[in-house]
Amino acid sequence: MENVLTRDTSQAVELIGRLEARSATIGIVGMGYVGQPLALRYAETGFRVLGYDVDSEKAAELNAGHSSIEHIDDAAIARAVANGRFEVTVDMARAVEADALIICVPTPLNKYREPDLGFVIGTMESLLPHLRSGQVLSLESTTYPGTTEEEIVTRIEKSGFTVGKDVFVVYSPEREDPGNKQFNTHTIPKVVGGHTQACLDVGKALYGGVIDKVVPVSSTRTAEMTKLLENIHRAVNIGLVNEMKIVADRMGIDIFEVIDAAATKPFGFTPYYPGPGLGGHCIPIDPFYLTWKAREYGLHTRFIELSGEINRAMPEYVVGKLVKALNDRRKALKGSKVLVLGIAYKKNVDDMRESPSVEVMELLRDAGAEVAYSDPHVPVFPKMREHRFDLASVVLTPETVAGYDAVVLATDHAKFDYDMIRTNAQVIIDSRGVYRAPAENVVKA
């Protein structure tokens, strides 16, 4: 049944019609881990997609049919380009061509661990001169409740538009999980919140034709909080098992054996596994967006902040275990050759965002160790905003492994030959629980 507000908003009716007919042009701002798979999904379902990115090299690469993201299929990119359904530009003035503008830009933390909305605000300032009536703008970047209203709606209305009548605004958090073969862009349910009912109706049309299940919620603030809850839930539980790992280790108990045993309970328990710290674009960052915003309401989110402290301490814990292992072998960390296995933030992907492996490498370097890494998914250490290493991935052979004073297993890629590594390494600091059977040269971390 058609919503009354939508029926009375001619711009919304017309836009919904174009979206349902797939005659609308979809603009996606930010051609990264979120923007690229979303663009491919729209293109493969018949939409024309115009991607926007500030990186001219990335734009040229995508227009040539190639993606530097490992799990993105080059053939799918090339096919979309060849069919005339996908193009990437650095010219934000072309935003006027799009009927929908979907913002997929980073929302990191600054050095004070406070929200940095610079990319979102910069994107909005670039788009504003080129907005027109009859467009829908969707923010997908993770952020605190109120961002869409305060930073998107306010700016649009100051430009002379009425949101919900001329231009439509929704918040729909991305839920990408790079490397996950069980779920992909169109099978992961899409939460959508609109600034008005007409906005929500347009948002449902925007995503309804390309996502299997759309989950409408009552407001943009609800949708923003939903995303935070999802990732804070993971961060808190990972913090719990990381703390349990430290307690279990002191008691001489293998925490991974404990988790596996607990996971046999068919109800009331969900297994989470410890590691060298949190990584990825969401879990290490999202809790601090909520804790920062909560202070505006006079609230101190103690539980969330405590889990953040525990998780942030994990790289130092891993290095501490390495120091002790070397001391037991009459060696100092300073001057030792240390090989870090895996520098992506999780197994079997090339995603380096917020990877705890990099922090481990920095701690080792600062302590005077000679650091190298091996990662089959990251052949050369990439350019990063805050981290600098002039390194290439080491090819693993029995001889190269044996040549290091210690090996730190930071990311448990399936491509590693773990038996060969265990046979030849002088000592292994295992932060992922790969080596379950006791061994003289394996130290659990």
Catalytic residues: 282
Distance in angstroms (rounded) separating the CA atoms of residues 295 and 290: 9
171 pairs with which residues across the strands?
139, 193
What token pair was written down for 7? 């029926």
* DSSP-H helix ranges across 216-301: 220-250, 255-262, 286-296
User: 55: burial class by Cβ within 10 Å (0-12, 13-18, 19+)?
Assistant: middle
What token pair was written down for 367? 């302590």
DSSP SS3 for 378 = coil
What token pair was written down for 33? 């881990």
Is the Cα torsion angle 391, 401, 417, 246 positive or negative in sign? negative
What lies within 8 Å, CB to CB, of 421 at 6+ separation is 341, 396, 401, 407, 409, 428
Closest CA to 81 of 95, 96, 60, 98: 60
Render the burial of 333-371: b for 16+ CB within 10 Å, e for the rest: beebebbbbbbbbbbbbbbbbbbbbbbbbbbbeebebeb
DSSP tag of 55: -
Other CB atoms within a 10 A radius of the CB of residue 304 amount to 19
311 pairs with which residues across the strands?
none
DSSP tag of 214: E
What lies within 8 Å, CB to CB, of 49 at 6+ separation is 25, 26, 27, 28, 39, 42, 43, 80, 85, 86, 87
Q: Determine contact, residues 169/200, Cβ cutoff 8 Å.
A: no
